[in-house]
Amino acid sequence: MTEYAIVQERFEQIDPEVLRQVMVDHGGLNRIDATRLARKAQGVLWERFTMRQAQQVAAELNHHDYRVRPVPAKDLVKLDKPRTVRRLEFFEDHFDIPWDLHRSVSIPWLNVFVISAAETRELVEKRRERPSRGTGRPTGEAAYVTETEIERSSKRISVTDIVALTAVGGFAHFRLPAHELHYNRILTDAASYRPYERYLMVLQRIVDSSKQAIVSPRTRHILVERQEPRSLAGTEDQVHVEEMNLDRYNEWLMQLVRFREDEQSEA
């Protein structure tokens, strides 16, 4: 049996109480699951409805002036993990990024689909070697060996994920980490600005040039607020959850692109 998802069609927050009640009355969820879902749902709200349930949930939410639509779960956009890009070269109608050791690819500004800036966490490993005293064999003499201790933690970082088509039609999903960009090779006067200001300059150039892209509200907020996020430590589990949430959010943004293209083709 085909499962269906309910997908939001615009950036809006659904009242958690309304969503919880709709999920219980029409979506087949119990109150505990519906309450948990309503607290954090955004974009793709749920993916395990029957067609009838999805139609009823969509109709009820639309009745409350929320824009959603049912979509077969198998037709939802799925993105591979973004590859990390640390250098760009800007031109009037496109920009270039390195794609492997021997070549770069060109991306026309009109081919940028999604720009999604966020704060997420990055795993950090610290390795420490220390000598450890043991007993040698077979003489019983003391022997020293080196033991490696690995300390894992995480730090909060600013990133921008971009989804686009290259000039030759290849799919490109990549991430720009603010703390690793080679600003001296991107900006002509990079030394005159603080690192986070450089990141905002790069992000602003990309947003301003990508006229057809869907730009996430968080991206626009970052450009207006212009305040560097505090560096916060976290656990490995938090890294996994935040990465998963960001991936799902970007898949929803690409789903909005698909909706837009479908509507344009039908017009």
**Whole-number mean pLDDT of the chain?**
88
Decide if pLDDT at 73 tops 70. yes
Tell me the mean pLDDT in the region 130-148.
61
Percentage above 90 pLDDT, the chain:
66
Q: What pLDDT sits at residue 140?
A: 56
Distance of CA 103 to the CA centre of its chain: 26
Measure Cα distances from 179 to 182, 196, 199, 230, 254 in Å: 9, 8, 8, 13, 26
Decide if pLDDT at 94 tops 60. yes
Q: What pLDDT sits at residue 205?
A: 96
Q: What pLDDT sits at residue 123?
A: 65
Q: Which of 238, 231, 91, 257 minimizes the C-alpha distance to 173?
A: 257
- Which neighbouring-strand residues pair with 114? 163, 214
Of the pLDDT bands very low, low, confident and very high (cuts 50, 70, 90), residue 241 is low
Predicted confidence (pLDDT) per residue in 161-192, tens digit: 999 999 999 999 999 999 899 998 898 887 88
Percentage above 70 pLDDT, the chain:
84
20-24, 124-128, 154-158, 163-167: least confident range: 124-128
Tell me the mean pLDDT in the region 230-255.
75
Dig out the tokens for 86 from the structure.
């640390």
Q: Which of 237, 1, 249 minimizes the C-alpha distance to 121?
A: 237
Higher pLDDT, 154 or 233: 154
Q: Are the C-beta atoms of 172 and 94 separated by less than 8 Å?
A: no
The domains located in the chain, with CATH, are 4-75 (3.30.1390), 83-266 (no CATH)
Tell me the mean pLDDT in the region 86-101.
93
Q: What pLDDT sits at residue 235?
A: 60
Decide if pLDDT at 212 tops 70. yes
Tell me the mean pLDDT in the region 37-59.
93
d(CA 130, CA 156): 29
Q: What pLDDT sits at residue 185?
A: 85
Measure Cα distances from 50 to 41, 196, 224, 227 in Å: 19, 47, 42, 44
Predicted confidence (pLDDT) per residue in 213-225, tens digit: 999 999 999 999 9
Decide if pLDDT at 71 tops 90. yes
Provide the whole-model pTM. Answer: 0.84
Of the pLDDT bands very low, low, confident and very high (cuts 50, 70, 90), residue 229 is confident
Of the pLDDT bands very low, low, confident and very high (cuts 50, 70, 90), residue 58 is very high
d(CA 76, CA 256): 10
Of the pLDDT bands very low, low, confident and very high (cuts 50, 70, 90), residue 57 is very high
